[in-house]
């Protein structure tokens, strides 16, 4: 799921600026380096017109439906049978369409008339969409199951009061290790990839994500800085660290980091929790052989959220769907199918044992929830990250 969400913050500017130019000869150079958050408002201003406006919350009762559900989601993020169950329960029909990145979804929603009722943007995308008024405020009275939200998912910086969004699923970024090669006695630290004394033993058997924010973020964490730093000096240090580590790398790889590990091509892999965990469970030895953890210095955490587009045709169905998924059993069915972390406290009793063991395992996040950071959009500084990453990769 998480693949290249980062690099994309700059890419987001391309369709946006193209949209503003609106015709002919747009080249990639058009994209100004300033993220996509503000430049987009103009577009919605012109197209939204009658439908945008004041942005009141929808007048909906609990369990009220006002039409069919059109869900716009990442691929394979919900069981089609579960979606059908929702449709049957409320006597409507439900369709799901998929997008492959936040940036592919954004322009469709902001142009208006997308026709979707519920979308699933990631954390930073919620900020961008809130700022642009591309999603509508939620009527919390229609979502009583919001009370099931686990405490660690409350007060999130991008939407502290769940005014616009409700967490859908979440995960972390960390390291997965093949203990058959590395042994079990290794430090739970980023030093296993960044400290030459340790990493040199596994030259050519390490993979790092091919993602500026994630990989430089890991280096920043190792150095004790925030992974959202806007200090050029700190970033330069992180760049040098990644650059010196690259000698030991098998690859900078995002899409198949998990597969490289279990196929034996790498012994230490930087990757996303859900991907790693699913992949590890696919192997015969499973968690006896492979270990996933977020190093003691901390790492990234990401959260996908349900939100309702500003011009959703069936806002009440959308509220009802969000409420329905926040129910304990439904939340568990969702997580048991896609194997990511559920933000739903009431779902925990219904989770698969494997998944629960993984989620509750205190050794996974070595220094606890506080050591995790969400990646936030650094605006103009975003280009410095991609430049530094290109230099580090040499």
Partner 1 sequence: MSDSTARPRGKTKWLLSANAVAVYLFFYAPIILLFVFSFSDNRNVGTWGGFTLGWYRDFADNEPIQDAIWVSLRVAFITTVVSVVLGTMAALALERFKFRGQRVFDALLYLPIIIPDVTMAVMMLLFFSQGLDIVNGLFGTQAGKGLTTITLSHIAFCISFVSVVVRARLNGMDDRLEEAALDLYATRWKTFRHVTLPLIAPGVAGGALLALTLSLDDVVVTQFAAGPGSTTLPVYVFGLIRRGVTPLINAVSVVMLAASILLVLLSVLLQRRGDNAPAAPAVPAGEQPSVNTINQ
Binding flag, residue 24, partner 1 (CB under 8 A): yes
Give the CB-side neighbour count of residue 388, counting CA atoms within 13 A: 28
Closer residue to partner 1 in complex, CB, 185/284: 284
Residues near partner 1 (CB under 8 A), total:
49
Residue with tokens 């990145």: 101
Identified binder of partner 1 from the candidate list 13, 14, 129, 250, rule CB under 8 A? 14
Candidate ranges 42-50, 120-128, 296-304, 381-389; the one touching partner 1 (CB under 8 A):
42-50
Candidate ranges 96-104, 229-237, 342-350, 382-390; the one touching partner 1 (CB under 8 A):
96-104
Binding flag, residue 104, partner 1 (CB under 8 A): yes
Binding flag, residue 220, partner 1 (CB under 8 A): no
Binding flag, residue 279, partner 1 (CB under 8 A): yes
Identified binder of partner 1 from the candidate list 8, 58, 65, 111, rule CB under 8 A? 111
Identified binder of partner 1 from the candidate list 32, 95, 140, 378, rule CB under 8 A? 95
Beta strands 372-374 and 299-306: pairing type?
parallel
Residue with tokens 């329960």: 89
CA angle 151-152-154, nearest 5°? Answer: 65
Alpha carbons 258 and 276: distance in angstroms, whole number: 5
Identified binder of partner 1 from the candidate list 88, 141, 200, 255, rule CB under 8 A? 255
Torsion of CA 333, 336, 338, 340, to 10 degrees: 110
Reduce the secondary structure of 208-239 to three states and give it as a string.
Answer: ECCCHHHHHHHHHHHCCCCCCCCCHHHHHHHH
Binding flag, residue 52, partner 1 (CB under 8 A): no
- Which two structure tokens, joined as six digits, stand for 59? 């007048």
Binding flag, residue 3, partner 1 (CB under 8 A): yes
Question: In terms of Cα–Cα distance, which of 65, 113, 116 is closest to 91?
Answer: 65
Question: In terms of Cα–Cα distance, which of 228, 18, 41 is closest to 131?
Answer: 41
Question: In terms of Cα–Cα distance, which of 187, 207, 202, 387 is closest to 296?
Answer: 187
Strand, helix or coil for residue 324: helix
Alpha carbons 225 and 116: distance in angstroms, whole number: 40
User: Shortest approach of partner 1 to residue 36 CB, angstroms?
Assistant: 13
Closer residue to partner 1 in complex, CB, 150/281: 281
Site for partner 1 in 357-376 (CB under 8 A): none
Judge contact between 142 and 314, C-beta under 8 A: no
Identified binder of partner 1 from the candidate list 35, 36, 40, 112, rule CB under 8 A? 112
Residue with tokens 């990250």: 385
Closer residue to partner 1 in complex, CB, 22/147: 22
Judge contact between 259 and 174, C-beta under 8 A: no
Identified binder of partner 1 from the candidate list 35, 36, 40, 107, rule CB under 8 A? 107
Identified binder of partner 1 from the candidate list 18, 92, 146, 376, rule CB under 8 A? 18
Alpha carbons 206 and 198: distance in angstroms, whole number: 12
Q: Give the per-residue contact string, 74-93, with partner 1 (x = CB under 8 A; - = no).
A: xxx---x-------------
Closer residue to partner 1 in complex, CB, 50/54: 50
**Tally of CB atoms within 10 A around 174:** 28
User: Shortest approach of partner 1 to residue 200 CB, angstroms?
Assistant: 27
Binding flag, residue 201, partner 1 (CB under 8 A): no
Candidate ranges 113-121, 158-166, 208-216, 347-355; the one touching partner 1 (CB under 8 A):
113-121
Beta strands 290-293 and 118-119: pairing type?
unpaired
Site for partner 1 in 132-191 (CB under 8 A): none
Question: In terms of Cα–Cα distance, which of 169, 165, 202 is closest to 341?
Answer: 169
Strand, helix or coil for residue 122: strand
Candidate ranges 40-48, 129-137, 138-146, 345-353; the one touching partner 1 (CB under 8 A):
40-48
Binding flag, residue 114, partner 1 (CB under 8 A): yes
Judge contact between 393 and 241, C-beta under 8 A: no
Closer residue to partner 1 in complex, CB, 8/219: 8
Alpha carbons 43 and 232: distance in angstroms, whole number: 33
Binding flag, residue 50, partner 1 (CB under 8 A): yes
Give residues in contact with partner 1 (CB under 8 A).
Answer: 1, 3, 14-15, 18-19, 22-26, 43, 46-47, 49-51, 70, 72, 74-76, 80, 95-101, 104, 107-108, 111-116, 255-256, 258-259, 262-263, 275, 279, 282, 313
């Amino acid at each position: 799921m998480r693949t290249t969400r980062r690099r994309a913050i700059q890419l987001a500017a391309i369709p946006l600026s193209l949209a503003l130019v609106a015709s002919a000869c747009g080249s990639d150079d058009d994209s100004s380096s300033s993220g996509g958050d503000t430049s987009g408002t103009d577009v919605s201003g012109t197209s939204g017109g009658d439908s945008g406006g004041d942005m009141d919350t929808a007048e909906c009762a609990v369990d009220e439906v006002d039409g069919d559900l059109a869900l716009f989601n990442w691929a394979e993020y919900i069981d089609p049978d579960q979606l059908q169950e929702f449709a049957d329960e409320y006597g409507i029909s439900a369709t799901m369409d998929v997008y492959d990145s936040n940036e592919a979804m954004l322009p469709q929603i902001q142009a208006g008339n997308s026709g979707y009722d519920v979308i699933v943007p990631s954390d930073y995308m919620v900020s961008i969409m809130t700022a642009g008024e591309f999603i509508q405020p939620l009527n919390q009275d229609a979502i009583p199951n919001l009370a099931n939200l686990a405490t660690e998912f409350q007060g999130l910086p991008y939407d502290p009061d769940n005014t616009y969004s409700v967490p859908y699923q979440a995960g972390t970024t960390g390291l997965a290790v093949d203990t058959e090669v590395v042994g079990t006695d290794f430090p739970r630290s980023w030093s296993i990839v960044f400290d030459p004394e340790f990493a040199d033993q596994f030259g050519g058997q390490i993979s790092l994500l091919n993602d500026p924010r994630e990989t430089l973020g890991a280096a920043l964490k190792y150095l004790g800085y925030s992974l959202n730093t806007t200090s050029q000096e700190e970033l330069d240090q992180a760049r040098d660290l990644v650059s010196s580590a690259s000698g030991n790398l098998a690859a900078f790889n995002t899409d198949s980091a998990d597969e490289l590990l279990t196929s034996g091509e790498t012994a230490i892999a930087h990757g996303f929790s859900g991907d790693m965990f699913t992949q590890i469970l696919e192997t015969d030895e499973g968690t006896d052989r492979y270990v996933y953890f977020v190093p003691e210095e901390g790492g990234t955490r990401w959260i996908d959220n349900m939100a309702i587009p500003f011009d959703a045709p069936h806002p009440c169905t959308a509220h009802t769907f969000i409420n329905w998924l926040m129910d304990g059993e439904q939340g568990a069915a969702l997580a048991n199918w896609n194997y990511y972390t559920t933000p739903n406290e009431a779902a925990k009793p219904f989770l698969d044992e494997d998944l629960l063991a993984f989620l509750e395992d205190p050794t996974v996040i070595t220094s606890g929830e506080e050591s995790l950071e969400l990646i936030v959009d650094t605006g103009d500084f975003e280009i410095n990250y991609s430049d530094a990453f290109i230099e580090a990769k040499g």
